[in-house]
Structure 1
Amino acid sequence: MLIIPMNLLPFYFSMKWLSSNYTCVTWNCVRTFFIVALLIIVGLIVLAV
């Protein structure tokens, strides 16, 4: 129950980083959001397989 799936770790850390960096440049926000979305998609693909 306590084990976090490996494909969720990057998402967890990125959310942790986002929550500690509310003030950010627009490009940084867009880039970070794109990276998080990409990680989620990759994670879903890994889970599907």
Structure 2
Amino acid sequence: MSDPRDSSSYSILPRIRYNTVGGVNGPLVILENVKYPKYNEIVNITLPDG
């Protein structure tokens, strides 16, 4: 088993911010101009009021 403190056992992806909400329909939020979208990707959304 690898040591979790070893940098080769995990990867850090850069945080990307998008300010291009195209629409909201129930639990779905549509973003425009997204780079490299992936199926079933989980994201965090912060509204303007925090």
TM-score by length of 1: 0.25
Task: Indicate the structure with greater helix content.
Answer: 1
Q: Bigger radius of gyration, 1 or 2?
A: 2
TM-score by length of 2: 0.25
Task: Indicate the structure with greater strand content.
Answer: 2
